[in-house]
Structure 1
Amino acid sequence: MEKVTCSCGHENPFGTKICGKCGRPLTEEAKSQKVLDMKYDGSAIRSKTYNKSIIDKVWNFFSSVKVGVSLIIILLVVASIGTIFPQEFYVSAGTDLERALYYETNYGSLGKLYYQLGLADLYSSWWFQVLVGMLAISIIVASIDRGLPLHKSLKNQRVKRHESFMKRQRIIAEGAITEGNSSETLAKVEEKMKKLNYKVKRDGNALLFEKGRFARYGPYINHVGLIIFLVGVMLHQIPGIYVDDSMWIREGETRAIPGMDGYFLKNEEFIFETHDNDPTTAQIQQGVNAVAKNYQTNVLLYKQSEDALPGQTDNLELVQDYSIRVNHPLKHDGYAIYQMDFRLNELKEMTFTLTNLETGEALGEVAIDLRNPQKEYIIDDNTKVKLMGYFPDFSGFNDEGEPQTATPNPNNPAFIFNMITPDRPDGEISFVAIQQTVPAGDNKYKMEFTSVETVNMSGLTIRKDSTIPILFVGGFIFLLGVAIGSYWNHRRLWIEQLEDGRIRLAAHTNKNWFGMKKDLDAVSEYAKLPKYIDQLDTDDDEKAQMEKEGDNTL
């Protein structure tokens, strides 16, 4: 686009409203304004100038304040919806089917719909991350679109300004000096303004007084902090940077730690202690029989050797021996393992005896590890038991009469046995559950429950967040920008000695006009300047009357 040449000869970028050199209004809109719009010092803003190509339209979309505010509102609403029910990370169910059943069972049809819409894994969903990314792009584009032109305009401020610029400021004054001459007046103004901490620039018989320019950068500092914060949030999706996982581990068990590649944890012992005093009445009403004093897991942290295959537990190197307690996590290599939950007396192993129904004779025992059951258990050369079906958490039969399991946890185990004996070489089928045995026909033998072995379990949470320094820096910069933009303001005073000895002045601030007027009152009283007027507080009739009365003002 062609540049706009002002009558003073200065070439301005297309879209500039106020000449960057003399301050003359360049557009019809600016010329018609009683008080100039000094929001961006009249500099050219790309989004308000170009709207032809696809790139222009995309740029204008993301630079729009309405779009940015809309994205923020959408994210707030969506994030709020994500707190209605627990996120699936905090649900103990393992498979997708189990999680779907959990939401439907606990929260009804609304919970089922909540899970089907993907709201149960909201913050990790691709479309939520897209919204966060769009907000970051919007902030970046809006900052570049407005921040760079404003910076160039403020950096290249001219001291001398055209009469039309001066007369179109909100606070203006023009008149003769009542005491001394113009040169002495300017010297007094400069002296007083320096005492008020204004910076001074001089060009011949014109002066520019300025302070608090940095306040104009407050919103953009705010944007930088917010962008850094959003980047930290999006980095949570990169493996290894952010870990928030959980695991259940039994006493005596050694397991790979989820989220900590190459590390294993062994549960040496789980300790549960209660207070000696009796529960209160309120606790008894809530079904609390004992008040927990301490629960901890004594663990051994191992590291896998570098040449070992994934999951291999041979040649593990002991890293740390630690007792994990509530609020006392095991910390290593940026990771923290917290004690979060426990289960007492979980079923570990069940023992059955193959027994003759008529005589009660026992042919042998079978011990079934409920976490790792075998397909076949051999008693002797001609006697064995085959495990044809295992249902860890038996929940009943479906419409076809097939047994079902609710979860993979051995809460209510049930089995389908095929009992092969010397006199029944083809075997006998029997369904066995706790307090329930259903033979498939006229059986001669049965699997009789003998004993059970239980074990305590610890629920641990593994956390690592390498983005915390990024989030902290982003939050600090954001609050710094808010403070700068809220508690400081940019004040400017232009004053010029005219050829006939009179003084013309104009003042502007981006906010806090009361403070600007207070400074003007102080310098006007000290240097005996002409009385100023606020054009937004003074109507045309009052202004004309003041001129008619010879008030030495415009």
Structure 2
Amino acid sequence: MDKVKCECGHMNPYGTYLCESCGIPLQKEEGQLANMRYEGVARRSQTYNKSVVDKIWNFFSSVKVGIWIIVILLLASSIGTIFPQEMYLPRGESASTYYQNEYGAFGQLYYQLGFHNLYSSWWYTLILAALGISLVIASLDRVVPLYRALKTQRVDRHEKFLERQRLFTRFEIGEKLDENRESIEKKLKEKRYSIRKKDQSLLAEKNRFARWGPYINHIGLIIFLIGGLLRLFPEMYLDDYIWVREGETEVVRGTDGEFFLRNDQFLVELYDEDDPVFGEALQTVSDPVVKTYQTSATLFERSDDGAIGSDTELDEVKTYDIRVNDPLTFDSFSLYQVDYKLNELSEFTFRIEGEDLDEEEESVTFNVDLNDPQMSYDLENGFRVEIVEYFPNFMLNEQNEPTTLNRIPDNPRIIFEVFPPDTEAEEGRGELSLIGVQVNEALNGENDYRIAMTDVDMVNVTGLTVRRDRTLPILILGGAIFMVGLVQGSYWHHRRIWLREKDGELLIAGHANKNWHSLKKDFEYVLKDTGIPQPIDQADDQEAENSDERDGEQHGST
């Protein structure tokens, strides 16, 4: 669109209300006071509305749109706290079945809509991206014209501009004008105003940098959002769990098989009821209270480039006692102690009993690892035992069929098929038995041989969080910049005082983006003992309050 040329010769963008240079009104507007919001300059969103780009720009530049995006984010985040996120589900639980089993139809809907993994869901990411776009466009739509207007403002502002300022007065020039001018300039400098003069006009200005506070806020928020979005990439952020049984070695998730952790020993310390500090309180609690728990662990690093397996060569890196808030840190990763499980079933020991077996034959045993069972066992007494079905955490489904809730051996059931000596291991020729804790049933009538459980091994399991956060410096930087902008816009205020001699009169006007009371006090100090009257506040009390809101870019931008 064509630019508008002011009578002072300055070319203003289309839609400008007050000339960027001299301040003369370029458009008629009702009311006694000038609209000083963004210095009366034109904003792109208010002047262009033809192309698709214009419509997108205008949509995201709206403060109302930004507020609604924030409201939607808050609502979604609130709903995400109704049920636990997937990362906090009990060990071995599947999200696809857990929410429906625990919370019914609403839990299933919660899962299907993606609230179970809210902060990495595609639609939540899109809302965050929309908020970032809104912040960028809203800031550019306001800060660019505001910067241009403040940079090009003239010292000798037009009389109509001065008359329409909220604080304004006229004074007939007296004999002591020169002395008064020197006194005014001296006091303005004492108040740390920056003074510019041209002919018979003067502009005193201070704290212009405060106008950029809201936009620095936006920069900080944008950087913070970028840091949050980068958490979607595993190389930037990882928050996972590993469970390591005592005496076992597990690969550390997220390290691409480079690092392994061995649980050498897990210790739990409980509070004693005779504790001098907490003893009385502990007597009111039925369950024991954990004082501290730790994992004595050894970290290994893979030494060869082969595949991960039983033959993987490992080099010891270090040993460490992992406690709560005292993680094991290595290669940008940290292992935090967050959970544990005592006395988890680990191994069953069985033997075969029968009327035709002697004591030596019945003394032969075999062990079944409940976490990684073999499917066939050849015994020294000539028997062969095969596992037909294994249910680590036995349950009956809706069709009353046996299944397992998860892979954790909390309630194991094993269907064995026993083949006596000199019997070929063919399906249907052996004797079937269902074995579990306090469970021993023959599945095909009376069996000649019975599988008896002779021993149970249990093990402590430690739960560790694997965390890597390379976005933390970005988040800290964004938060620090935000706080700088907040302080900058809250504790300093942009103030300007204009003096202009014209036709034997001295025109005095003042403007502040907020905190008009401070500007009035500056006028009282500067004009004291000069005989020049204080500027008149041209707005009544109610209008003054509304004017604070109109003139403050911080209100508009935040």
Q: TM-score, normalised by structure 2?
A: 0.90
Counterpart position of 1:243: 238
- Equivalent pair of 2:273/2:282 in contact (CA under 8 Å): no
Helix, strand or coil for the counterpart of 2:140?
helix
Are 2:521 and 1:518 aligned? yes
- Equivalent pair of 2:204/2:496 in contact (CA under 8 Å): yes
Counterpart position of 1:542: none
Return the alpha-carbon distance in structure 1 between the equivalents of residues 66 and 11 of structure 2: 33
The structure 1 residue matched to 2:456, chosen from 433, 444, 452, is 452
Return the alpha-carbon distance in structure 2 between the equivalents of residues 397 and 20 of structure 1: 76
- Equivalent pair of 1:256/1:311 in contact (CA under 8 Å): no
Of the structure 1 ranges 69-78 and 439-448, higher mean CA displacement relative to structure 2 is found in 439-448
Counterpart residue type for residue 17 of structure 2: K
- Equivalent pair of 1:174/1:503 in contact (CA under 8 Å): yes
The structure 2 residue matched to 1:473, chosen from 465, 470, 477, is 477
Counterpart position of 1:204: 199
- Equivalent pair of 1:177/1:528 in contact (CA under 8 Å): no
Q: How does 1:151-170 map to 2 (within 5 A)?
A: 151-170=147-166
Are 2:16 and 1:11 aligned? no
Counterpart residue type for residue 411 of structure 1: D
The structure 2 residue matched to 1:228, chosen from 223, 228, 231, is 223
1:36 is displaced (CA, Å) by 0.8
Helix, strand or coil for the counterpart of 1:511?
coil
Counterpart position of 1:536: 539
Return the alpha-carbon distance in structure 1 between the equivalents of residues 310 and 46 of structure 2: 63
Counterpart position of 2:2: 2
- Equivalent pair of 2:304/2:312 in contact (CA under 8 Å): no
Counterpart position of 2:440: 437
Are 2:113 and 1:117 aligned? yes
Are 2:512 and 1:509 aligned? yes
- Equivalent pair of 1:171/1:508 in contact (CA under 8 Å): yes
Counterpart position of 1:140: 136
Return the alpha-carbon distance in structure 2 between the equivalents of residues 486 and 90 of structure 1: 40
1:530 is displaced (CA, Å) by 3.9
Counterpart position of 1:552: none
Return the alpha-carbon distance in structure 2 between the equivalents of residues 273 and 181 of structure 1: 87
- Equivalent pair of 2:384/2:421 in contact (CA under 8 Å): no
Helix, strand or coil for the counterpart of 1:527?
coil
Structure 2: 5+ residue stretches without partners: 543-558
Return the alpha-carbon distance in structure 2 between the equivalents of residues 312 and 230 of structure 1: 43
Per-residue CA shift, 1:116-167, capped at 9, x if unaligned? 3221111111111111111011001111110111111112221011111111
Counterpart residue type for residue 199 of structure 2: G
Q: How does 1:297-312 map to 2 (within 5 A)?
A: 297-305=295-303, 307-310=305-308
Counterpart residue type for residue 540 of structure 2: D
Q: RMSD between aligned alpha carbons?
A: 2.3
Helix, strand or coil for the counterpart of 1:453?
strand
Are 2:341 and 1:343 aligned? yes
Counterpart residue type for residue 421 of structure 1: P
- Equivalent pair of 2:392/2:413 in contact (CA under 8 Å): yes
Counterpart residue type for residue 417 of structure 1: F
Return the alpha-carbon distance in structure 2 between the equivalents of residues 353 and 360 of structure 1: 13
Helix, strand or coil for the counterpart of 2:509?
strand
Relative to 1, partners in 2 of residues 1:525 and 1:398: Cα closer, same or farther, differing over 3 Å?
Answer: closer
Return the alpha-carbon distance in structure 2 between the equivalents of residues 330 and 76 of structure 1: 34
Relative to 1, partners in 2 of residues 1:154 and 1:311: Cα closer, same or farther, differing over 3 Å?
Answer: farther
Return the alpha-carbon distance in structure 2 between the equivalents of residues 312 and 228 of structure 1: 45
Counterpart position of 1:496: 500
Counterpart position of 1:547: none
Helix, strand or coil for the counterpart of 1:528?
coil
1:467 is displaced (CA, Å) by 1.6
Return the alpha-carbon distance in structure 1 between the equivalents of residues 14 and 465 of structure 2: 59
Relative to 1, partners in 2 of residues 1:294 and 1:19: Cα closer, same or farther, differing over 3 Å?
Answer: closer
Return the alpha-carbon distance in structure 2 between the equivalents of residues 312 and 337 of structure 1: 23
Counterpart residue type for residue 529 of structure 1: I
1:182 is displaced (CA, Å) by 3.5
Counterpart position of 1:384: 384
Per-residue CA shift, 1:184-242, capped at 9, x if unaligned? 33332212211111110011111001011011011011111111111111111111221
Counterpart residue type for residue 243 of structure 1: L
Relative to 1, partners in 2 of residues 1:489 and 1:387: Cα closer, same or farther, differing over 3 Å?
Answer: same
- Equivalent pair of 2:495/2:513 in contact (CA under 8 Å): yes
Counterpart position of 1:44: 42
Return the alpha-carbon distance in structure 1 between the equivalents of residues 308 and 356 of structure 2: 52
Counterpart residue type for residue 487 of structure 2: A
- Equivalent pair of 1:192/1:526 in contact (CA under 8 Å): no
The structure 1 residue matched to 2:430, chosen from 427, 448, 458, is 427
Helix, strand or coil for the counterpart of 1:16?
coil
Return the alpha-carbon distance in structure 1 between the equivalents of residues 506 and 286 of structure 2: 86
Relative to 1, partners in 2 of residues 1:415 and 1:23: Cα closer, same or farther, differing over 3 Å?
Answer: same
Counterpart position of 1:543: none
4+ residue runs of structure 1 moved beyond 4 angstroms? 278-286, 310-313, 357-363
Counterpart residue type for residue 228 of structure 2: V
Counterpart position of 1:353: 351
Are 2:209 and 1:191 aligned? no
Counterpart position of 1:551: none
Counterpart residue type for residue 429 of structure 1: L
Counterpart position of 1:393: 393
Counterpart position of 2:545: none
Relative to 1, partners in 2 of residues 1:437 and 1:515: Cα closer, same or farther, differing over 3 Å?
Answer: same
Counterpart residue type for residue 168 of structure 1: R
Of the structure 1 ranges 263-272 and 106-115, higher mean CA displacement relative to structure 2 is found in 106-115
1:437 is displaced (CA, Å) by 2.5
The structure 2 residue matched to 1:320, chosen from 313, 318, 321, is 318
- Equivalent pair of 1:357/1:446 in contact (CA under 8 Å): no
Return the alpha-carbon distance in structure 2 between the equivalents of residues 527 and 18 of structure 1: 32
Relative to 1, partners in 2 of residues 1:306 and 1:20: Cα closer, same or farther, differing over 3 Å?
Answer: farther
Return the alpha-carbon distance in structure 2 between the equivalents of residues 459 and 76 of structure 1: 31
The structure 1 residue matched to 2:490, chosen from 486, 492, 495, is 486
Return the alpha-carbon distance in structure 1 between the equivalents of residues 226 and 69 of structure 2: 16
Structure 1: 5+ residue stretches without partners: 540-554
Relative to 1, partners in 2 of residues 1:411 and 1:322: Cα closer, same or farther, differing over 3 Å?
Answer: same
Relative to 1, partners in 2 of residues 1:252 and 1:455: Cα closer, same or farther, differing over 3 Å?
Answer: same
- Equivalent pair of 2:273/2:283 in contact (CA under 8 Å): no
Are 2:407 and 1:408 aligned? yes
Counterpart position of 2:290: 292
Counterpart position of 2:69: 71
Return the alpha-carbon distance in structure 1 between the equivalents of residues 42 and 7 of structure 2: 18
